[in-house]
Structure 1
Amino acid sequence: MAYRIFTEEEWNTLQELAEDFRNKVTPIADQINLRCKEEDCSAYIQSGYRSSKHQMKLYKIGRKLHKNRWMRTGEAPVMTHAAPGQSPHEYRLAVHVALIKDADNLWVDDDDSRWHTIVGEIVRENGLTWGGDFVNIFDAAHIEDPNWREVASDLDWRGLQ
Protein backbone atom coordinates (compact mmCIF):
# COMPACT_ATOMS: atom_id res chain seq x y z
CA MET A 1 0.00 0.00 0.00
CA ALA A 2 1.32 3.43 -0.87
CA TYR A 3 2.05 6.10 1.71
CA ARG A 4 -1.08 8.15 2.33
CA ILE A 5 -1.65 11.69 3.53
CA PHE A 6 -4.02 12.09 6.49
CA THR A 7 -7.41 13.40 5.38
CA GLU A 8 -9.05 16.58 6.63
CA GLU A 9 -11.41 14.42 8.70
CA GLU A 10 -8.44 12.70 10.35
CA TRP A 11 -6.80 16.05 11.14
CA ASN A 12 -10.12 17.25 12.60
CA THR A 13 -10.16 14.18 14.85
CA LEU A 14 -6.74 15.22 16.18
CA GLN A 15 -7.93 18.82 16.67
CA GLU A 16 -10.64 17.58 19.08
CA LEU A 17 -8.01 16.19 21.47
CA ALA A 18 -6.68 18.06 24.51
CA GLU A 19 -3.93 20.39 23.31
CA ASP A 20 -1.03 18.86 25.28
CA PHE A 21 -2.03 15.34 24.25
CA ARG A 22 -2.56 16.40 20.63
CA ASN A 23 0.93 17.93 20.59
CA LYS A 24 2.34 14.56 21.73
CA VAL A 25 0.23 12.25 19.58
CA THR A 26 0.35 14.13 16.24
CA PRO A 27 4.07 13.47 15.67
CA ILE A 28 3.51 9.87 16.82
CA ALA A 29 0.82 9.40 14.17
CA ASP A 30 3.23 10.87 11.61
CA GLN A 31 6.01 8.49 12.75
CA ILE A 32 3.65 5.51 12.51
CA ASN A 33 2.59 6.54 9.02
CA LEU A 34 6.21 7.03 7.93
CA ARG A 35 7.23 3.62 9.30
CA CYS A 36 4.23 2.07 7.54
CA LYS A 37 5.63 3.30 4.24
CA GLU A 38 8.32 0.63 4.58
CA GLU A 39 5.93 -2.06 5.86
CA ASP A 40 3.16 -2.18 3.23
CA CYS A 41 0.46 -0.66 5.40
CA SER A 42 -0.72 2.82 6.30
CA ALA A 43 -1.85 4.69 9.40
CA TYR A 44 -5.46 5.79 9.73
CA ILE A 45 -6.66 8.12 12.49
CA GLN A 46 -9.91 6.35 13.28
CA SER A 47 -11.32 8.09 16.36
CA GLY A 48 -10.50 10.43 19.21
CA TYR A 49 -12.87 12.32 21.51
CA ARG A 50 -16.15 10.67 22.50
CA SER A 51 -18.94 12.29 24.46
CA SER A 52 -20.23 10.35 27.46
CA LYS A 53 -23.44 9.81 25.49
CA HIS A 54 -21.47 8.20 22.65
CA GLN A 55 -19.46 6.16 25.15
CA MET A 56 -22.73 4.82 26.59
CA LYS A 57 -23.93 3.92 23.10
CA LEU A 58 -20.74 1.89 22.55
CA TYR A 59 -20.92 0.36 26.05
CA LYS A 60 -24.44 -0.97 25.38
CA ILE A 61 -23.28 -2.99 22.36
CA GLY A 62 -23.26 -6.65 23.39
CA ARG A 63 -24.94 -5.90 26.74
CA LYS A 64 -28.39 -5.38 28.24
CA LEU A 65 -29.50 -3.88 31.54
CA HIS A 66 -30.79 -6.56 33.92
CA LYS A 67 -31.75 -5.68 37.51
CA ASN A 68 -29.67 -2.48 37.40
CA ARG A 69 -26.58 -4.30 36.11
CA TRP A 70 -25.19 -4.43 32.60
CA MET A 71 -24.90 -8.05 31.50
CA ARG A 72 -23.29 -9.45 28.36
CA THR A 73 -25.83 -10.85 25.93
CA GLY A 74 -23.56 -12.79 23.61
CA GLU A 75 -25.61 -11.42 20.70
CA ALA A 76 -22.83 -9.09 19.61
CA PRO A 77 -19.20 -8.66 20.63
CA VAL A 78 -18.65 -6.16 23.43
CA MET A 79 -17.36 -2.95 21.85
CA THR A 80 -15.76 -1.39 24.94
CA HIS A 81 -15.08 -2.31 28.54
CA ALA A 82 -15.28 1.32 29.68
CA ALA A 83 -18.60 2.58 30.96
CA PRO A 84 -19.38 6.30 30.58
CA GLY A 85 -16.90 8.40 32.56
CA GLN A 86 -14.29 5.61 32.50
CA SER A 87 -12.74 6.13 29.06
CA PRO A 88 -9.81 8.43 28.29
CA HIS A 89 -11.60 9.25 25.03
CA GLU A 90 -14.17 11.20 27.08
CA TYR A 91 -11.40 13.44 28.43
CA ARG A 92 -9.84 14.05 25.00
CA LEU A 93 -6.82 12.01 26.06
CA ALA A 94 -7.02 8.98 23.74
CA VAL A 95 -7.00 8.31 20.03
CA HIS A 96 -7.21 5.27 17.78
CA VAL A 97 -4.55 5.12 15.08
CA ALA A 98 -5.27 2.01 13.05
CA LEU A 99 -2.99 0.19 10.65
CA ILE A 100 -4.81 -0.33 7.38
CA LYS A 101 -3.85 -2.64 4.56
CA ASP A 102 -5.76 -1.26 1.59
CA ALA A 103 -7.74 1.64 0.18
CA ASP A 104 -10.96 0.30 1.76
CA ASN A 105 -9.50 1.06 5.21
CA LEU A 106 -9.52 -2.60 6.23
CA TRP A 107 -7.52 -2.94 9.43
CA VAL A 108 -4.44 -5.11 9.68
CA ASP A 109 -5.33 -8.27 11.65
CA ASP A 110 -4.79 -8.14 15.43
CA ASP A 111 -2.21 -10.94 15.31
CA ASP A 112 -0.09 -9.09 12.74
CA SER A 113 3.34 -8.30 14.24
CA ARG A 114 3.31 -4.81 12.69
CA TRP A 115 1.06 -3.62 15.55
CA HIS A 116 3.96 -4.37 17.92
CA THR A 117 6.88 -3.36 15.69
CA ILE A 118 5.30 -0.13 14.48
CA VAL A 119 2.58 1.17 16.79
CA GLY A 120 3.70 -0.36 20.09
CA GLU A 121 7.35 0.59 19.71
CA ILE A 122 6.69 4.17 18.62
CA VAL A 123 4.05 4.83 21.28
CA ARG A 124 6.23 3.45 24.09
CA GLU A 125 9.31 5.36 22.83
CA ASN A 126 7.30 8.57 23.13
CA GLY A 127 6.05 7.97 26.69
CA LEU A 128 2.38 7.27 25.96
CA THR A 129 0.35 4.14 26.73
CA TRP A 130 -0.42 1.63 23.97
CA GLY A 131 -3.61 -0.45 24.11
CA GLY A 132 -1.69 -3.50 22.90
CA ASP A 133 -0.03 -3.63 26.33
CA PHE A 134 -3.32 -3.77 28.26
CA VAL A 135 -3.62 -6.83 30.51
CA ASN A 136 -7.29 -7.73 29.93
CA ILE A 137 -7.85 -6.63 26.33
CA PHE A 138 -5.78 -6.14 23.18
CA ASP A 139 -6.75 -2.72 21.79
CA ALA A 140 -4.05 -2.35 19.15
CA ALA A 141 -5.14 1.01 17.71
CA HIS A 142 -5.57 2.67 21.13
CA ILE A 143 -3.10 5.33 22.31
CA GLU A 144 -3.69 7.21 25.56
CA ASP A 145 -2.11 9.68 27.94
CA PRO A 146 -0.73 7.67 30.88
CA ASN A 147 -2.06 10.31 33.31
CA TRP A 148 -5.64 10.46 32.03
CA ARG A 149 -7.06 9.02 35.28
CA GLU A 150 -5.83 12.08 37.19
CA VAL A 151 -7.85 14.31 34.85
CA ALA A 152 -10.86 12.01 35.18
CA SER A 153 -10.60 12.07 38.97
CA ASP A 154 -10.44 15.87 38.99
CA LEU A 155 -13.71 15.85 37.00
CA ASP A 156 -15.33 13.24 39.29
CA TRP A 157 -15.24 10.67 36.47
CA ARG A 158 -18.03 12.40 34.53
CA GLY A 159 -16.32 12.92 31.18
CA LEU A 160 -16.29 16.32 29.51
CA GLN A 161 -19.91 16.02 28.31
Structure 2
Amino acid sequence: MRDIAALHPRLQTKAALLKEECKKQGISILFSECLRTKAEQDALYAQGRTAPGNIVTNAKGSTYSSQHQWGIAIDFYINMDVDGDGDKKDDAFNNSTGLFEQVGAIAKSVGLGWGGDWTSIKDRPHLYLPDWGSTASKLKQQYITPERFMQTWGDGKVTVDAIQEINKVSPSGYERTQFIMDVQAATGSKVDGKAGSETIRNTITVSASRNRKHPVVVPLQKRLNALGHDCGKVDGIAGPKFTVAVNSYQKNALGYRNLDGEVTAGKKMWKSLLGMV
Protein backbone atom coordinates (compact mmCIF):
# COMPACT_ATOMS: atom_id res chain seq x y z
CA MET A 1 0.00 0.00 0.00
CA ARG A 2 1.46 3.36 -1.02
CA ASP A 3 -0.81 5.75 0.86
CA ILE A 4 1.46 7.89 3.03
CA ALA A 5 -1.62 9.39 4.72
CA ALA A 6 -2.26 5.98 6.32
CA LEU A 7 1.00 6.14 8.29
CA HIS A 8 1.63 7.34 11.83
CA PRO A 9 1.28 11.17 11.76
CA ARG A 10 4.79 11.71 13.11
CA LEU A 11 6.27 9.47 10.43
CA GLN A 12 4.46 11.49 7.77
CA THR A 13 6.07 14.65 9.09
CA LYS A 14 9.53 13.09 9.32
CA ALA A 15 9.22 11.65 5.81
CA ALA A 16 8.43 15.10 4.42
CA LEU A 17 11.35 16.53 6.37
CA LEU A 18 13.68 13.83 5.06
CA LYS A 19 12.67 14.51 1.47
CA GLU A 20 13.39 18.22 1.95
CA GLU A 21 16.77 17.60 3.59
CA CYS A 22 17.76 15.18 0.81
CA LYS A 23 16.80 17.78 -1.78
CA LYS A 24 19.15 20.27 -0.13
CA GLN A 25 21.98 17.78 -0.66
CA GLY A 26 21.09 17.16 -4.30
CA ILE A 27 19.38 13.82 -3.73
CA SER A 28 15.87 13.15 -5.03
CA ILE A 29 13.87 10.37 -3.40
CA LEU A 30 10.31 9.09 -3.62
CA PHE A 31 8.40 6.79 -1.28
CA SER A 32 6.95 3.39 -2.08
CA GLU A 33 5.82 0.90 0.58
CA CYS A 34 3.86 2.46 3.45
CA LEU A 35 1.20 0.71 5.54
CA ARG A 36 1.04 -2.99 4.71
CA THR A 37 -1.90 -5.36 5.25
CA LYS A 38 -1.59 -8.86 6.70
CA ALA A 39 -2.21 -10.39 3.25
CA GLU A 40 0.39 -8.16 1.63
CA GLN A 41 2.95 -9.06 4.28
CA ASP A 42 2.24 -12.79 3.93
CA ALA A 43 2.69 -12.53 0.16
CA LEU A 44 6.02 -10.80 0.65
CA TYR A 45 7.12 -13.42 3.18
CA ALA A 46 6.32 -16.18 0.67
CA GLN A 47 8.73 -14.65 -1.84
CA GLY A 48 11.84 -16.82 -2.06
CA ARG A 49 10.16 -19.53 0.00
CA THR A 50 6.97 -20.77 -1.64
CA ALA A 51 6.85 -18.13 -4.37
CA PRO A 52 9.39 -16.97 -6.99
CA GLY A 53 11.96 -14.34 -6.09
CA ASN A 54 14.51 -13.67 -3.38
CA ILE A 55 13.86 -13.68 0.36
CA VAL A 56 13.33 -10.07 1.43
CA THR A 57 11.73 -10.37 4.86
CA ASN A 58 11.64 -12.63 7.89
CA ALA A 59 8.29 -11.26 9.07
CA LYS A 60 5.07 -13.22 8.53
CA GLY A 61 1.90 -11.18 8.18
CA SER A 62 0.02 -13.38 10.63
CA THR A 63 2.50 -12.54 13.40
CA TYR A 64 2.29 -8.74 12.98
CA SER A 65 6.08 -8.69 12.99
CA SER A 66 6.59 -6.14 10.22
CA GLN A 67 6.90 -2.48 11.14
CA HIS A 68 4.95 -1.71 7.97
CA GLN A 69 1.88 -3.39 9.45
CA TRP A 70 2.00 -0.96 12.37
CA GLY A 71 2.22 2.17 10.21
CA ILE A 72 5.63 3.18 11.55
CA ALA A 73 7.74 2.31 8.48
CA ILE A 74 8.16 3.61 4.96
CA ASP A 75 10.41 2.57 2.06
CA PHE A 76 12.11 4.96 -0.34
CA TYR A 77 13.77 4.72 -3.73
CA ILE A 78 16.06 6.95 -5.77
CA ASN A 79 14.45 9.30 -8.27
CA MET A 80 17.61 10.18 -10.21
CA ASP A 81 19.50 9.15 -13.34
CA VAL A 82 22.42 7.67 -11.42
CA ASP A 83 24.14 5.92 -14.32
CA GLY A 84 23.68 8.78 -16.79
CA ASP A 85 21.78 6.81 -19.41
CA GLY A 86 18.88 9.25 -19.48
CA ASP A 87 16.51 6.93 -17.62
CA LYS A 88 15.61 7.22 -13.93
CA LYS A 89 13.50 4.08 -13.76
CA ASP A 90 16.44 1.67 -13.91
CA ASP A 91 18.19 3.48 -11.06
CA ALA A 92 15.51 3.27 -8.36
CA PHE A 93 17.72 0.93 -6.31
CA ASN A 94 21.10 1.76 -7.83
CA ASN A 95 23.50 2.08 -4.91
CA SER A 96 26.70 2.19 -6.95
CA THR A 97 27.48 5.68 -5.63
CA GLY A 98 26.36 5.03 -2.06
CA LEU A 99 23.16 7.06 -2.28
CA PHE A 100 21.29 4.74 0.07
CA GLU A 101 23.94 5.22 2.74
CA GLN A 102 23.70 8.98 2.26
CA VAL A 103 19.92 8.96 2.59
CA GLY A 104 20.19 6.62 5.57
CA ALA A 105 22.51 9.08 7.32
CA ILE A 106 20.16 11.98 6.62
CA ALA A 107 17.21 9.91 7.84
CA LYS A 108 18.97 9.23 11.12
CA SER A 109 19.78 12.92 11.50
CA VAL A 110 16.05 13.74 11.47
CA GLY A 111 15.20 11.01 13.95
CA LEU A 112 14.39 7.98 11.80
CA GLY A 113 15.80 4.47 12.02
CA TRP A 114 17.41 2.93 8.91
CA GLY A 115 17.16 -0.70 7.81
CA GLY A 116 20.66 -0.51 6.37
CA ASP A 117 21.96 -0.79 9.93
CA TRP A 118 20.34 -4.20 10.41
CA THR A 119 22.55 -7.29 10.38
CA SER A 120 20.26 -10.24 9.55
CA ILE A 121 18.76 -8.83 6.35
CA LYS A 122 20.00 -5.38 5.42
CA ASP A 123 17.04 -3.37 4.13
CA ARG A 124 18.55 -0.16 2.77
CA PRO A 125 15.30 1.35 1.42
CA HIS A 126 13.58 0.86 4.81
CA LEU A 127 13.00 3.72 7.27
CA TYR A 128 11.07 3.65 10.53
CA LEU A 129 10.17 5.46 13.74
CA PRO A 130 12.69 4.12 16.28
CA ASP A 131 10.59 4.87 19.37
CA TRP A 132 9.74 1.18 19.84
CA GLY A 133 13.11 -0.24 18.82
CA SER A 134 14.18 -1.81 15.54
CA THR A 135 11.45 -4.47 15.53
CA ALA A 136 7.72 -4.64 16.20
CA SER A 137 8.15 -6.69 19.40
CA LYS A 138 7.39 -3.90 21.87
CA LEU A 139 4.35 -2.81 19.89
CA LYS A 140 3.03 -6.37 19.86
CA GLN A 141 3.51 -6.70 23.60
CA GLN A 142 1.86 -3.39 24.40
CA TYR A 143 -0.97 -3.22 21.85
CA ILE A 144 -1.41 -6.81 20.58
CA THR A 145 -2.76 -5.65 17.19
CA PRO A 146 -1.98 -2.72 14.85
CA GLU A 147 -5.62 -1.61 15.05
CA ARG A 148 -5.35 -0.97 18.79
CA PHE A 149 -2.12 0.92 18.30
CA MET A 150 -3.63 3.12 15.61
CA GLN A 151 -6.41 4.15 17.97
CA THR A 152 -3.79 6.03 20.01
CA TRP A 153 -2.58 8.18 17.14
CA GLY A 154 -4.91 11.07 17.90
CA ASP A 155 -3.96 11.41 21.56
CA GLY A 156 -2.27 14.82 21.23
CA LYS A 157 1.31 13.77 22.00
CA VAL A 158 1.82 12.66 18.43
CA THR A 159 0.81 16.02 17.02
CA VAL A 160 3.01 17.98 19.42
CA ASP A 161 6.03 15.83 18.62
CA ALA A 162 5.31 16.12 14.91
CA ILE A 163 5.20 19.89 15.04
CA GLN A 164 8.48 20.04 16.94
CA GLU A 165 10.14 18.38 13.94
CA ILE A 166 9.10 21.28 11.72
CA ASN A 167 11.68 23.53 13.37
CA LYS A 168 14.36 21.65 11.43
CA VAL A 169 13.02 22.87 8.08
CA SER A 170 14.32 26.23 6.89
CA PRO A 171 11.61 28.86 6.26
CA SER A 172 12.82 29.44 2.71
CA GLY A 173 11.88 25.86 1.84
CA TYR A 174 8.59 25.83 3.70
CA GLU A 175 5.99 25.34 1.00
CA ARG A 176 2.20 25.35 1.29
CA THR A 177 1.75 21.57 1.11
CA GLN A 178 4.11 21.05 4.03
CA PHE A 179 2.37 23.86 5.92
CA ILE A 180 -1.00 22.18 5.39
CA MET A 181 0.35 18.83 6.62
CA ASP A 182 1.82 20.44 9.72
CA VAL A 183 -1.39 22.31 10.50
CA GLN A 184 -3.35 19.09 10.05
CA ALA A 185 -1.02 17.25 12.42
CA ALA A 186 -1.24 20.03 15.03
CA THR A 187 -5.02 20.22 14.96
CA GLY A 188 -5.89 16.53 14.79
CA SER A 189 -6.97 16.39 11.16
CA LYS A 190 -6.14 13.69 8.64
CA VAL A 191 -2.63 14.46 7.40
CA ASP A 192 -2.71 14.37 3.60
CA GLY A 193 -1.47 17.81 2.54
CA LYS A 194 -4.87 18.70 1.07
CA ALA A 195 -6.88 21.42 2.79
CA GLY A 196 -10.55 20.45 2.90
CA SER A 197 -13.57 20.79 5.15
CA GLU A 198 -12.03 18.84 8.04
CA THR A 199 -8.84 20.89 7.95
CA ILE A 200 -10.59 24.26 8.12
CA ARG A 201 -13.13 22.99 10.66
CA ASN A 202 -10.36 21.98 13.06
CA THR A 203 -8.44 25.25 12.87
CA ILE A 204 -8.23 27.31 16.05
CA THR A 205 -7.96 31.01 16.80
CA VAL A 206 -4.38 32.11 17.42
CA SER A 207 -3.20 35.50 18.69
CA ALA A 208 -0.94 36.96 21.35
CA SER A 209 -3.74 36.42 23.85
CA ARG A 210 -5.41 33.23 22.61
CA ASN A 211 -3.74 29.83 22.12
CA ARG A 212 -0.40 31.62 21.95
CA LYS A 213 1.60 28.45 22.66
CA HIS A 214 -0.49 25.93 20.74
CA PRO A 215 1.56 23.59 18.47
CA VAL A 216 -0.03 25.19 15.40
CA VAL A 217 1.84 28.43 16.14
CA VAL A 218 5.06 26.95 14.75
CA PRO A 219 3.76 26.27 11.21
CA LEU A 220 2.00 29.65 11.23
CA GLN A 221 5.26 31.39 12.10
CA LYS A 222 7.19 29.48 9.46
CA ARG A 223 4.62 30.07 6.74
CA LEU A 224 4.32 33.79 7.46
CA ASN A 225 8.11 34.09 7.44
CA ALA A 226 8.29 32.22 4.14
CA LEU A 227 5.73 34.61 2.65
CA GLY A 228 7.74 37.66 3.70
CA HIS A 229 5.76 38.66 6.80
CA ASP A 230 8.46 38.71 9.47
CA CYS A 231 7.57 36.73 12.61
CA GLY A 232 11.14 36.71 13.81
CA LYS A 233 12.45 33.58 15.50
CA VAL A 234 10.28 30.47 15.13
CA ASP A 235 9.77 29.68 18.81
CA GLY A 236 6.19 28.42 18.96
CA ILE A 237 4.97 31.48 20.87
CA ALA A 238 2.61 34.06 19.38
CA GLY A 239 4.14 37.27 20.70
CA PRO A 240 4.45 40.88 19.49
CA LYS A 241 6.28 39.98 16.26
CA PHE A 242 3.62 37.40 15.47
CA THR A 243 0.98 40.12 15.82
CA VAL A 244 2.92 42.41 13.47
CA ALA A 245 3.29 39.61 10.91
CA VAL A 246 -0.41 38.73 11.06
CA ASN A 247 -1.37 42.39 10.62
CA SER A 248 1.03 42.63 7.68
CA TYR A 249 -0.61 39.63 6.02
CA GLN A 250 -4.10 40.96 6.70
CA LYS A 251 -3.25 44.34 5.20
CA ASN A 252 -1.10 43.34 2.23
CA ALA A 253 -2.47 39.93 1.26
CA LEU A 254 -6.11 40.24 2.27
CA GLY A 255 -6.70 43.99 2.02
CA TYR A 256 -8.08 44.32 5.54
CA ARG A 257 -8.60 47.81 6.91
CA ASN A 258 -9.30 46.77 10.48
CA LEU A 259 -6.28 44.77 11.62
CA ASP A 260 -6.69 42.59 14.71
CA GLY A 261 -3.48 40.54 14.90
CA GLU A 262 -5.53 37.34 15.06
CA VAL A 263 -5.74 34.24 12.89
CA THR A 264 -9.39 33.43 13.55
CA ALA A 265 -10.62 29.84 13.44
CA GLY A 266 -12.35 28.96 10.19
CA LYS A 267 -12.14 32.47 8.79
CA LYS A 268 -10.59 34.10 5.73
CA MET A 269 -6.97 34.30 6.89
CA TRP A 270 -6.83 30.60 7.66
CA LYS A 271 -8.49 29.81 4.34
CA SER A 272 -6.04 32.05 2.51
CA LEU A 273 -2.97 30.54 4.15
CA LEU A 274 -4.29 27.05 3.42
CA GLY A 275 -4.92 27.95 -0.24
CA MET A 276 -8.69 27.55 0.00
CA VAL A 277 -9.59 31.01 -1.37
Pair 1:135 & 2:124 matched: no
Question: Per the alignment, in what secondary structure is the counterpart of residue 98 of structure 1?
Answer: strand
Question: Per the alignment, in what secondary structure is the counterpart of residue 95 of structure 1?
Answer: strand
Higher helix share: 2
Matches within 5 A, 1:49-60: 49-60=35-46
Partner of 2:107: 123
Change (3 A) 1:54 1:116: same
In 1, Cα distance between equivalents of 2:53 and 2:127: 25
Greater relative contact order (Cα 8 A, min sep 6): structure 1 or 2? 1
In the superposition, the TM-score normalised over structure 1's length comes to: 0.72
**Counterpart selection for 1:153 from 141, 151, 154:** 141
Unaligned 5+ segments in structure 2 are 82-87, 149-277
Partner of 1:106: 91
Partner of 1:79: 56
Letter in 1 for 2:113: T
Deviation at 1:90, TM superposition (A): 0.2
Q: RMSD in angstroms over aligned alpha carbons?
A: 2.5
Per-residue CA distance 1:100-144 (angstroms, 9 max, x = gap): 333326324245312112x12111112221011111122111001
Unaligned 5+ segments in structure 1 are 1-8, 65-72
Higher Rg: 2
**Counterpart selection for 2:67 from 88, 96, 118:** 88
| Identity percentage of aligned residues | 21
Change (3 A) 1:152 1:107: same
Paired residues in the alignment total: 136
Question: Per the alignment, in what secondary structure is the counterpart of residue 47 of structure 1?
Answer: coil
Letter in 1 for 2:107: V
Contact 1:98 1:140 in 2 (8 A): no
Per-residue CA distance 1:3-38 (angstroms, 9 max, x = gap): xxxxxx9xx732111112222222112222442x3x
In the superposition, the TM-score normalised over structure 2's length comes to: 0.44
Letter in 1 for 2:119: V
Higher strand share: 1
Contact 1:101 1:108 in 2 (8 A): no
In 1, Cα distance between equivalents of 2:119 and 2:32: 23
Letter in 2 for 1:49: L
